[in-house]
Amino acid sequence: MSGCGGCKGCSPKGITSVKDAAYTVALAGNANVGKSATFNQLTGVDQIIGNWPGKTVERAEGLLVHKGHRIRVIDLPGIYSFSTYSMEELVSREFIALEHPDAVVNVIDASALERNLFFTIQLMELAPPLMIAVNQIDLAEKKGLTIDVEKLSSILGVPVVPTVAIRGKGISPLTDAILDLVHDRPVPPVLFYGREIEERIARIVSLLHPVSTPYPTRWTAIKLLERDPDMVRIVSVQDPSIVQEADRLAGEIEAIHGEPVSVVITAERYQIADRIAAEVITVQMPQDGPQKKSLTDKIDQIALHPILGYFGVVGVIGGLLVWTFLIGAPVSAFITSFLTQFEQYEPVITGPFTDILWNGVFTGFLAGVTLIIPYVLPFYLILAVIEDSGYLTRISVMLDRGMHKIGLHGKAIIPLILGYGCNVPAIYSCRIMESPKQKLLAAFLVTLVPCTARTVVILGLVAAFVNIWWALALYAFDILLILVVGRVAFKAVPGESVGLIMEMPDYHVPSLRVVLKQTWARTKSLIWVVFPAYIIGSAVLQGFYAAGLLDPVNALLAPITTLWLGLPAVVGITLIFGIVRKELTILTLAVIFGTTNFATIMSPVQLIVLALVSMLYIPCISAIFALASEFGWRRALAITGTEIVLAIVLGGLAYRALGLFM
């Protein structure tokens, strides 16, 4: 690799010097084409992972230092078109058009050239300085496909470099080509459509001269012809007659073809892509009979089987949950036991205030450590392995149809599964959803999933002192509730839901470097939310408790806790402490009553009701902070309020219903 990746030897200030880079290069392409692997090879270890301004779409950028030139590299979201149906598509389109990067590297999959060239054609219409990295050449060769990259470069009129990014092959010539591109900044040539479309594009172009837009004129004309809502809005403000004329011309195309104009232009793009792919691909048939099925095809016969495939899905999801319940919990208990021995040490400065602060900070720190190490880190690690192997895509496809019932698609299963370990990282993982509505809906449903902390409450109250069947009944009820609430929220929340469009990558052995980097990137962003929330929240509650301010809270909540829920009045305090961390519901209850045999202080009905309410109201203060960081405080508090009301209403109904036969 020619670039040093912005290491500290070349960049004393580290990755923060990205802002001082002389050039900006964007990586664009479909999902699962090796774009992230290319980004990692170019930028090395030091990278910035965050969000695009005002968006919940993840943003990754790094520094490439090559031949004395500092180049800022932006990894755009993996998308398939510029139709703006999703936030990822809008982010990519606006960055290329409005930020004017010095070069755009279109990473494409050599083994699915035609499908990837569909996006390349749209990139060329946006007219940035463009080059193509034909990645995964090795996988194409295994399938008997040979790509003539020189001919592809000649047809498209842009530089083309073959790579195998995961192994670092082709990265050196790629960096050379990037440097040449940012210096020359050539505009890619025009690829023409059929005559009836080109005539109408030319007509709209002739009308657009007095109109000012940040987009190329030909691009604007094509988007007006496709009736793109954003382009229609931009142009109509300046000259509505152009929009009316474009709509009329689009109607003429629809009359000729008998299909919507967007379908016609999409078909034209695929026709161009098909023609180019046919010219540059050579298929080498085996000499000894029919080609054998690849390992991917053989595995997919089971992984995507309409019946057997679900056994694989259940096995993987079950394995993740086994870690949560059977391995993570003992590890968490061991860490708790080890760290609590240090709680006895007094702070250097003693006094009522410092004692309260010390206890609160220590409790919050303990809560964060026992969450991150036994649950979050292993969960993210296993998830990254499954993702990098290619199997996570198959899980999403298998569950896609069922998820449509609640307005989501198959990828939503990822945050929902993660929620059983911890709701906080599950909320962040909702970024994989395409539309803002689906992100919000998935995060809302994730907070209803009983995480490990709520599992402790369910098992500690119901399984231990009623029976295991009532504990399982609570889980079954929760799943049913998620389906019902999800369906209602899908109808009530404004916005659009888009379908699942995913490439099916070949299976491969996960890269340890990619897995560790992905795990750390996800965990690092989570740490900045979890620890401050736990420590501050715990310290504040400790102070309130020491000052005797929680007793009035019990009196204030008594109409709800005693009259409606049928619980002892002091449960109000336990529910308040449960906002910091759900296990504190049980711990506070034990401290107040001086016993861990809860069957002596509450009836079976009360134990079930308390577990139900604890399971349904907002998971913890860290989850609230995570929701706020992703969706803003207004929506975070709306979700929090909704779940508190839902928990109270259903808890009261359960108390009355269970009282009839228990």
Would the annotation count 138 as a binding residue?
A: yes
* Whole-Å CA distances, 367 to 381, 421, 530, 538, 619: 20, 14, 9, 9, 14
Q: What percent of the chain has pLDDT over 90?
A: 30
Read off the pTM.
0.55
Per-residue pLDDT, averaged over 300-312, amounts to 82
Would the annotation count 57 as a binding residue?
A: yes
Binned at pLDDT 50, 70 and 90, residue 9 comes out as: very low
Would the annotation count 78 as a binding residue?
A: yes
pLDDT of residue 161: 95
Residue 104 · residue 516 · CB < 8 Å:
no
Residue 580 CB coordination number (10 Å): 27
The residue among 177, 185, 175 whose CA lies nearest residue 66 is 175
Would the annotation count 230 as a binding residue?
A: no
Would the annotation count 32 as a binding residue?
A: yes
Residue 454: strand, helix, or coil: helix
Residue 380 · residue 555 · CB < 8 Å:
no
* Lowest mean per-residue pLDDT among 47-51, 385-389, 590-594: 47-51
pLDDT of residue 220: 92
Per-residue buried b or exposed e for 28-48, using 16+ beta carbons within 10 Å of the residue's own CB = bbbbbbbbbbbbbbbbbebbe
Q: How far apart are CA 657 and CA 176, in angstroms?
A: 72
pLDDT of residue 187: 87
Phi, psi of 203 (to 5 degrees): -65, -45
pLDDT of residue 53: 63
pLDDT of residue 18: 58
Residue 77 · residue 57 · CB < 8 Å:
yes
Residue 451 · residue 416 · CB < 8 Å:
no
Would the annotation count 33 as a binding residue?
A: yes
Decide if pLDDT at 396 tops 80: no
Would the annotation count 374 as a binding residue?
A: no
Would the annotation count 429 as a binding residue?
A: no
Residue 619: strand, helix, or coil: coil
Would the annotation count 247 as a binding residue?
A: no
Would the annotation count 136 as a binding residue?
A: yes
Would the annotation count 510 as a binding residue?
A: no
Would the annotation count 421 as a binding residue?
A: no
Residue with tokens 């992100």: 439
Would the annotation count 220 as a binding residue?
A: no
pLDDT of residue 385: 85
pLDDT of residue 129: 94
pLDDT of residue 551: 76
* Whole-Å CA distances, 221 to 97, 122, 411: 15, 13, 35
The residue among 250, 259, 199 whose CA lies nearest residue 224 is 250
Residue 441 · residue 407 · CB < 8 Å:
yes
* Residues composing the chain: 662
pLDDT digits (tens, 9 = 90+) for 531-548: 776 677 667 766 776 777
pLDDT of residue 207: 92
Would the annotation count 56 as a binding residue?
A: yes
Residue 74 has which token pair?
A: 């932006």
Identify the CATH number of the domain defined by range 14-184: 3.40.50.300
Rg (CA), the chain: 28
Would the annotation count 43 as a binding residue?
A: yes
Would the annotation count 36 as a binding residue?
A: yes
Give the orientation angle of helix 413-421 with respect to helix 391-398, to 10 degrees: 110
Would the annotation count 135 as a binding residue?
A: yes
Residue 399 · residue 410 · CB < 8 Å:
yes
195-283: CATH architecture: Orthogonal Bundle (1.10)
User: Got the DSSP string for 463-489?
Assistant: IHHT-HHHHHHHHHHHHHHHHHHHHHH
pLDDT of residue 591: 63
Would the annotation count 29 as a binding residue?
A: yes
pLDDT of residue 602: 92
pLDDT digits (tens, 9 = 90+) for 411-423: 777 788 778 777 8
pLDDT digits (tens, 9 = 90+) for 39-48: 888 886 456 6
Would the annotation count 77 as a binding residue?
A: yes
Comparison of pLDDT for 366 and 221, the residue scoring more: 221
What residue segments make up the domains of the chain, in order of their start?
Answer: 14-184, 195-283
pLDDT digits (tens, 9 = 90+) for 22-55: 899 999 999 888 888 888 888 864 566 666 666 6
pLDDT of residue 24: 92
Residue 647 · residue 616 · CB < 8 Å:
yes
Decide if pLDDT at 84 tops 70: no
| Dihedral sign (CA 596, 601, 603, 609) | negative
Residue 125 · residue 265 · CB < 8 Å:
no
Would the annotation count 137 as a binding residue?
A: yes
Q: How far apart are CA 313 and CA 138, in angstroms?
A: 29
